């Protein structure tokens, strides 16, 4: 069966130009001093492919999530927290209801310590969804994902391949609340909030996921492999109601800020993402 392509308009001429400028800026910041790649890029062919992408090839917009409001779900407080999370998430008919369900879910002390819920933002029907780890101090203050230093790096990295949260993807985190002191989320915290995240994915219906960092990759792919072994290739994540969604794990920008030598790998992941999106829209 032919796969519905992602929005081909992301590869229009103007986007291609600004992506090239962003990529050049990023490479200079990252210390590139020679214009060499692993293999030559045929920019002309990319432009021609973008120009050929027929208007009619654009996917029909996904049906909007049902606007019906679910009656508030009454659950016995004696039920295990994970069971309550599963039931509340499954009962949310749309993103607004899901956000309200997470805000009301009081089984985690993270909620008591955090300032704001960080639910997610971006384009819900773009076909691409990024999932990070957890809000930091800046995100907690703003109630928005990836707005601090690592978020700004993430935005620049994705801009370098022509993608932004304003036009091309939706972005959220495995955890909706900030862990105190920005510590790594525990496995139990990830497991507790996973039903909400999985429901968020099911409601957004992305064609592809990017798992930003080891916590998101392990949370959704499972297994014992770390991010350095998982990154660089597509995996699949099973989502109830959607089936198996291709998912690309990549290095977290906070890690890249600490380990500049790994930027080469992150760049390879971005190129793989870009190539895959091109192929899907050709």
Q: Which residues contribute to the site for ligand URA (CB under 6 A)?
A: 132-136, 139, 145-146, 148, 150-151, 173, 213, 254
| Least distance in angstroms from the C-beta of 257 to ligand URA | 11
Q: Which is nearer to ligand URA, 12 or 143 (CB)?
A: 143
> Are 30 and 260 in contact, with CB atoms under 8 Å apart?
yes
Find the shortest distance in angstroms from Cβ 134 to ligand URA. Answer: 6
| Shortest Å distance, C-beta 145 to ligand URA | 4
For helices 214-221 and 187-204, what crossing angle results, to 10°?
A: 70
Nearer to ligand URA, 159 or 280 (CB): 159
* CB-based closest residue to ligand URA: 132
Please state, in angstroms and rounded to a whole number, the distance separating the CA atoms of residues 112 and 231. Answer: 34
Q: How far is the CB of 255 from ligand URA (least distance, A)?
A: 10
Q: Which is nearer to ligand URA, 139 or 155 (CB)?
A: 139
Q: Which is nearer to ligand URA, 15 or 150 (CB)?
A: 150
Where would I find the H helices in the chain? Answer: 13-29, 43-52, 81-91, 95-104, 110-113, 137-142, 149-159, 187-204, 214-221, 227-230, 253-258, 263-281
Query: Rounded distance, CA 93 to CA 101, Å?
Result: 11
By beta-carbon proximity to ligand URA, the closer residue of 136 and 219 is 136
- The pair of structure tokens assigned to 63 is 């049906």
CA angle at 149 for the pair 109 and 173, rounded to the nearest 5° = 40
Burial of 1 (0-12, 13-18, 19+ CB in 10 A): exposed
CA proximity to 207, closest of 1, 11, 7: 7
Q: What minimum distance in Å lies between the beta carbon of 164 and ligand URA?
A: 16
Q: With respect to ligand URA, which residue has the nearer C-beta, 87 or 103?
A: 103
Chain centroid offset of residue 155 CA: 12
Tell the smallest beta-carbon distance from residue 249 to ligand URA (Å).
13
């Amino acid at each position: 069966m032919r796969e519905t392509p992602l929005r081909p308009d992301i590869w229009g001429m103007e986007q291609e130009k600004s992506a090239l400028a962003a990529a050049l800026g990023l490479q200079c910041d990252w210390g590139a001093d020679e214009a060499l790649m692993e293999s030559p890029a045929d920019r002309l062919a990319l432009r021609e492919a973008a120009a050929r992408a027929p208007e009619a090839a654009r996917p029909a917009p996904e049906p909007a999530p049902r606007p019906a409001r679910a009656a508030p779900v009454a659950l016995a407080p004696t039920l295990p927290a994970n069971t309550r999370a599963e039931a509340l998430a499954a009962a949310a008919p749309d993103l607004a209801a899901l956000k309200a369900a997470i805000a009301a879910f009081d089984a985690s002390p993270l909620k008591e310590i955090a300032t704001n819920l960080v639910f997610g933002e971006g384009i819900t029907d773009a076909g691409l969804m990024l999932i990070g780890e957890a809000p930091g101090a800046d995100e907690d203050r703003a109630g928005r994902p990836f707005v601090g230093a690592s978020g700004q790096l993430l935005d620049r990295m994705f801009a370098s391949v022509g993608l932004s949260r304003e036009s091309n993807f939706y972005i959220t985190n495995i955890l909706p609340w900030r862990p105190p002191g920005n510590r790594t989320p525990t496995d139990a915290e990830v497991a507790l909030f996973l039903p909400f995240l999985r429901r968020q994915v099911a409601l957004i219906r992305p064609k592809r996921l990017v798992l930003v960092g080891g916590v998101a990759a392990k949370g959704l792919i499972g297994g014992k492999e770390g991010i350095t072994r998982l990154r660089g290739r597509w995996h699949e994540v099973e989502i109830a109601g959607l089936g198996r969604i291709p998912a690309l794990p990549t290095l977290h920008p906070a890690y890249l800020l600490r380990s500049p030598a790994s930027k080469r790998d992150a760049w390879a992941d971005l190129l793989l993402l870009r190539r895959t999106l091109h192929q899907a829209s050709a």
